[in-house]
Structure 1
Amino acid sequence: MRRRLVPPLCLSLILCICSGAAFAGAWPREEGTTFLSLGGNVALFDGATRPVHYDPTIYLEYGVTPRLTFGIDGYAADAGTAGSLFAWIRLPWRPERGGDVWAVSTGLGMTLLQDGYREATTRLGLHWGRGLETGWLAVDAQGQLGVTRLSHQAKVEGTWGRDLAPRWTGLIQAQTGYGLSGDIYAKIGGSFAWQAHETFELRLGLTRALTGDRGGGLTLESWWRF
């Protein structure tokens, strides 16, 4: 993340090209502050259905204490046949060492399965980040396990963010994992974020599937801080 402002990626994910918001990242949210992101793909290319579709996402995090971050995230994917909604907490795993930041997260939520069944699901995440002179690097890994049908998913995504100008940031992101049907998927994307106001940024980018139908999408996302 940027040194002058701790970014939410986090997405994880933030995310972003994630199926599901991955803005989380390893950095804690400052106590008493909130970050909100809304977005998705607004146009599709080359018959994109899976693993890239419109994929609307919502991501919110709040700094409860200097160490404890609370969040809510949700998404829909695979042309609306999959999705989830989670509440979670994130804590530092160990003190920052040599510029590396680590954190763990755990959450509980609901997952929409392909037959329409909604299953209560647990989630565990491991997050790493490193601030750079002009940007940041982040890697987020998450695993999910359903409590009734034992459905399971996992993903790993990496983000490289770089400050390009006083109000412009560039991002390159990649994600791989396996979905509810056990299929392995991978995506890659690039985007630009424009800081319109100290509390608002707009991100525009392109996402391309490396597996499945190999389709692409034009991503539009808003970031709010208050």
Structure 2
Amino acid sequence: NSSNRGVNVDQAFIELGGLKVGYFYNWWDDGLSGETDILASHTTQYNAIRYTYTAGAFYAGVAVDELEGVIHGTNRDNNVGIEGIIGGAFGPAKVALLGGYDTDQEEGAVRVIATAELGPGTLGLAAAWASGQNAYYDTSEWTVAAEYAVKVTDRFKITPGGQYFWNLDSTATGGFNGDRDGWRAGLTFDYQLATNLSTKVAVNYQDFDNQQEQWTGFVRLQRAF
């Protein structure tokens, strides 16, 4: 309305060769293709500077992020995070190893994602570990996830997926404790309606120890320009 106007910027950056500077999604935003997995915590958009080196099918990169108050229990801005990634393609398979370190919390996380063309679809596997509460991943101390994206037709894809979490609880000082685990499973449906127009439907079930079971999902219409 006329009294409440604003502009939301999704990304704004300058990119020159392997150097990227500005406000953009970081590498933790690149999860599996389905909508069941939780492989990043908090926001994945930062003011950042990053450099990526590419040599054929291999790449490596480093980034420095302005975390802006995403740290647990604080509202302080200008905390610094550091990311590093290496990855490559090996025939029909792709692997990426990612790490993030939160300098304010002095904790970090490591994640690996691997995908491979297998039969009529693509198999995706992922695992992550967190040393404690940090800006990148701290939903649990350990987690593993898997999915299989089946291309039913040129327009229609179905992706069943599942994930297990070990040690969901953390202490006031930032470490993990207890033995509360959990799991989630779901289906993602992708359909190409027309050129640059698609729809995505996701349905997920989640069961964490000592927590009410949850059904979640969404329907999304996507337009590419």
| TM score, norm. by length of structure 1 | 0.54
Contact residue 140 and residue 157 of structure 1 kept, 8 A = yes
1:107 has 2:100 as partner: yes
Q: State whether structure 2 residue 148 is matched by structure 1 residue 160.
A: yes
Runs (5+) with no aligned partner, structure 2: 1-26, 68-72, 74-80, 171-177
1:130 deviates by 1.1
Q: 1:187 aligns with which of 170, 184, 187?
A: 184
Report which of the two structures shows the higher radius of gyration computed on alpha carbons. Answer: 2
> Conserved in 1, the CA contact under 8 Å of 2:197 and 2:222?
yes
Tell me if 1:209 matches 2:206: yes
1:217 maps to amino acid:
T
Shift of residue 119 of structure 1? Answer: 3.8
Look up the match of 2:5: none
Q: Kindly provide the amino acid, as one letter, of the partner of residue 132 in structure 2.
A: G
Classify 1:222/1:65 alpha carbon distance in 2 versus 1 (closer, same or farther; 3 Å).
Answer: farther
Count of aligned positions: 165
Residues 8-61 of structure 1: per-residue CA shift (max 9 Å, x gap): 998523562233449xxxxxxxxxxxxxxxxxxxxxxxxxxxxxxxxx97579x
Equivalent-residue separation in structure 2 for 1:20 and 1:208 (angstroms)? 16
Q: Which letter maps to 1:156?
A: V
Go from structure 1 to structure 2 and tell me whether the alpha carbon gap of 1:185 and 1:100 turns closer, same or farther (over 3 Å shift): same
1:73-118 per-position Cα deviation (integer Å, ceiling 9, x unaligned): x9xxxxxx9xxxx77443127x626x443331111349xxxxxxx8
State whether residues 32 and 113 of structure 2, in contact with CA within 8 Å, keep that contact through their aligned partners in structure 1: no
In structure 1, what is the equivalent of residue 90 of structure 2? Answer: 96
Measured in 2, the distance between the counterparts of 1:119 and 1:197 equals 47
Identity %: 12
RMSD: 4.5
Higher relative contact order (CA 8 A, sep 6+): 1
Q: TM-score under structure 2 normalisation?
A: 0.54
Superposition deviation, residue 131 in structure 1: 1.0
Name 2:107's counterpart in structure 1: 121
